[in-house]
Amino acid sequence: MLREVREDDLDVLFEQQREPEAVAMAVFPAREREAFDAHWRRILADEALVAFVIDVDGEVAGNVVSWEQDGRRLVGYWLGREYWGRGLATAALAELVQQLEVRPLHAWVAATNGGSIRVLEKCGFVRVGEHTSDVEEYLYELA
């Protein structure tokens, strides 16, 4: 299900991150193409960052990533709208978590993003904090 990100995956990932319902649910703005490409160039060049495509029958269903930020190892994922409701985000995150040896793992999620909260909880993450600036977010941890 998880494989390395290839250059030819980026067009699909770009379109997926622009899907209005996904952007609203994640409370995370879509990037314009130039910013998106620069972001993914940084991801692919960073050896400390882990990034995979979620591959479903040869199709790019989304991505799952892990990176260091503010002294924490974070995880994140994005799934194309047409793949929602099939357990793919949960399966992809579970596979990533199994590959990562470091603990604890953390994830920030918008308080209103019930789907993503369920994915985290199914993978064993528990809510350990919250933060509010422009958006209320919960911090989840897998010990």
52 inside domain: yes
Residue 133 above 90 pLDDT?
no
Question: Are 95 and 107 spatial neighbours (Cβ–Cβ below 8 Å)?
Answer: no
7 inside domain: yes
22 inside domain: yes
Q: What is the pLDDT of residue 134?
A: 86
Residue 14 above 90 pLDDT?
yes
Q: What is the pLDDT of residue 24?
A: 93
Range of the domain at 8: 2-101
- Over residues 9-24, the mean pLDDT reads 96
Count of the separate structural domains present in the chain: 1
25 inside domain: yes
- Over residues 117-137, the mean pLDDT reads 95
The residue count of the chain comes to 143
135 inside domain: no
89 — pLDDT class (breaks 50, 70, 90): very high
- Residue 51: beta bridge partners? 65
**Considering the entire predicted model, what is its pTM?**
0.93
* Residue whose tokens read 């919960």: 138
